[in-house]
Amino acid sequence: MSLLNRIAGPEDVRPLTTAQTSRLAAEIRTFLVENVSRTGGHLGPNLGVVELTIALHRVFDSPRDTIVFDTGHQAYVHKLLTGRQDFSGLRTRDGLSGYPSRSESEHDVVENSHASTALSWADGIARANDLQGRRDRHVVAVVGDGALTGGMAWEAINNIAADPTRRLVVVVNDNGRSYSPTVGGLANHLDTLRVTRGYEAFLDWGKRTLQQRTGPPGRFAYGWLHGLKKGIKDVVAPQGMFEDLGLKYVGPVDGHDVAAVEAALRRARDFGGPVIVHAMTEKGRGYTPAEEDVADRFHAVGAIHPETGLPVAPSRFGWTQVFAEEMVAIGRRRRDVVALTAAMLHPVGLAPFAHEFPDRTVDVGIAEQHAATSAAGMAFAGLHPVVAVYSTFLNRAFDQVLMDVALHRAGVTFVLDRAGVTGDDGPSHHGMWDMAVLRVVPGLRLAAPRDEPTLRAALRAAIDVDDAPTVVRYPKGALPDEMPALEDLDGVHVLARHAAGAGASSAGRVLVVGVGAMAPVALAAGESLAAHGLDVEVVAPTWVLPVPEPLVKLCGERDLVLTVEDGVVDGGVGALLAQRAAEQGVRTPFVHRGLPAAFIAHATRAQVLVAQRLRAEDAVREALAALSQD
């Protein structure tokens, strides 16, 4: 029987010998490659934290001691060591989440997979422990080095350092990467720490020398040693940045040496105050295809051949690639266009632009707020910035979009990848909030293209706007077939017209509005409604914010308007259209189909659409019911 199969919880990890922990680490890596290659998931980050996670569960007593992960995609090993070894349904409906999940285990605390938040969680939990007299408990935050590029992490550190007695341990998992190689001053600082291991050894030599010459160090000897430490720390000990904040620093330590990590963690646990443990790890450790990969393709994978790391099915031509191509074409025409990304150069499709225009590409790290405001500054100084992020991550920068970009009428374009239903990453990654949130931003214009030509056209049009923020959103995955317009009504594209048959009722004129990726659903719904003898017109406005006036006019000419969107339906684009129509005296009833204001669990996109009644047949049923009531 393998060691891993005998692990039902952390209590089974602590009695293992050093040799057994090495064997367990090897078994875990084999398990991860075999299982994640079948389901897809975050393979590279978890291969890199095997020994670190084993050590955490040998030193700390979870769940009595709280362990939080930033971000949660590095928690697969934690799941295995806390009794969850059925990975057959990883990131599929009713299977294990790809992130920590409170519904799965009492060992999971923070479900939000957005980065740079764990230190604030840890600070809050540690404060609560102190206030409630739980001085025998520790809080551990496992933070990827990329997460420390986010400003929220440093806000938390500022507060953590204010109380020297708080029992809080920050483990910096330093692999030099987040999604891509970690960038910025912090990354340079950690690079320096990696090559200055001689500092502690040098101090130990100083102590031994004093003891040999003077016996146990006396007052003079301690003064000499303190002066020595102060004199050299800025030269060979850049960990002084942390210590000057009031945080004890331990490391760097080899994150793949269980015994070394355990020793460092025990020192931190027993210190009695906030401590940073700096562990150096290798992303993709032990899996040759991942170790040799320079593009970080193994951060998150689909189904792959475990022997080679190659995809089981080749990637299909998708929305992100169209954006990537069009950005390069625009960059060649316009020297003022610059691109910004928040540590996701490859995932959002900016790598080709960066290759051709390296001086016009900025990776700010996991710092969406900074990206938005820096872009406002660039716009003021004469450039046109394009900020490419996942839709879910723009939520983090709403204040900056509102007060720094929109208030100052800055010509900044935000490109939102993974908009709408994203599927297997679950509630924190569904890009369903953007339209409902951004509709309140004065002057903002938002496009929801439906296919490749409208995406290219929307991006070009967005970049031509220099006096307001523009947004272009599109979903994850493969492109649909092109849906050419029968007619362009001043920006509102008519995709289909179905005349009512003989004997159609006078209350049978329906307008179907498909928003962005839901245009195919709108077309299918239009055909079905026409089969019921209704007069149907299907439209898809590319620019949905602000509401196009021609669309409001069309609403007034129909007996029912059916809107279909893949964003939050309450306060979404359809609801805004109905509001604008009512303001202009239009009395046409509306039926809105979209996503609820709820956190939707991980499942495939198709499964989510079924569960949320967002198929064509669902929309048709609602429309027919509304017409029958009239």
Q: Residue 559's pLDDT is what?
A: 94
Catalytic residues: 283, 368, 396
The residue whose two tokens read 């940045």 is 241
197-228 pLDDT, tens digit per residue, is 444 554 454 555 555 554 554 444 444 444 44
Element (H, E) at 130: helix 118-131
Average pLDDT value for residue range 436-445: 96
Torsion sign over Cα 78, 80, 81, 84: positive
Q: Residue 326's pLDDT is what?
A: 97
Report the range of poorest mean pLDDT among 138-147, 301-310, 329-338, 544-553.
301-310
178-189 pLDDT, tens digit per residue, is 445 555 545 454
Report the range of poorest mean pLDDT among 15-29, 92-106, 297-311, 459-473.
297-311
Measured CA to CA, the distance from residue 286 to residue 481 in angstroms comes to 41
Residues pairing with 114 in the sheet:
none
Q: Which domains does the chain have, with CATH numbers?
A: 4-196+238-288 (3.40.50.970), 197-233 (no CATH), 319-473 (3.40.50.970), 487-629 (3.40.50.920)
Average pLDDT, the chain: 85
Higher pLDDT, 550 or 182: 550
Average pLDDT value for residue range 49-57: 93
Annotated binding residues, written as ranges, equal 73, 113-115, 145-147, 175, 287, 368
The residue whose two tokens read 């005296």 is 585
**Listing from the earlier edge strand, what are the strands of the sheet with 560-568?**
487-489, 492-498, 535-541, 509-514, 560-568, 590-595
Enumerate residues 6+ apart whose C-beta is below 8 A from 503.
533
Give the percent of the chain with pLDDT over 90. 54
Specify whether the CB–CB gap between 269 and 138 falls below 8 A: yes
CA dihedral angle for residue 160, residue 165, residue 166, residue 171, rounded to 10 degrees: 70
Q: Residue 198's pLDDT is what?
A: 47
Does the structure show a pLDDT above 50 at 8? yes
132-146 pLDDT, tens digit per residue, is 888 889 999 998 867
The one-letter code for the residue type at 73 is H
Q: Residue 455's pLDDT is what?
A: 97
145-176 pLDDT, tens digit per residue, is 677 877 888 888 888 888 888 899 999 988 86
Measured CA to CA, the distance from residue 306 to residue 329 in angstroms comes to 37
Q: Residue 605's pLDDT is what?
A: 87
Q: Residue 199's pLDDT is what?
A: 44
Average pLDDT value for residue range 239-247: 64
Specify whether the CB–CB gap between 29 and 51 falls below 8 A: no
Does the structure show a pLDDT above 90 at 502? no
Average pLDDT value for residue range 267-275: 91
285-304 pLDDT, tens digit per residue, is 877 777 666 556 677 667 77
Annotated binding residues for thiamine diphosphate, written as ranges, equal 73, 113-115, 146-147, 175, 287, 368
Indicate the burial class of 506 (C-beta count within 10 angstroms; 0-12, 13-18, 19 or more): exposed
Annotated binding residues for Mg(2+), written as ranges, equal 145, 175
Q: Residue 226's pLDDT is what?
A: 47
Does the structure show a pLDDT above 80 at 571? yes
Enumerate residues 6+ apart whose C-beta is below 8 A from 384.
334, 336, 337, 338, 411, 412, 413, 463, 466
Q: Residue 365's pLDDT is what?
A: 86
Average pLDDT value for residue range 459-488: 95
Higher pLDDT, 30 or 225: 30
Average pLDDT value for residue range 397-401: 94
Q: Residue 222's pLDDT is what?
A: 44
Label residue 603 by pLDDT band (50, 70, 90). confident
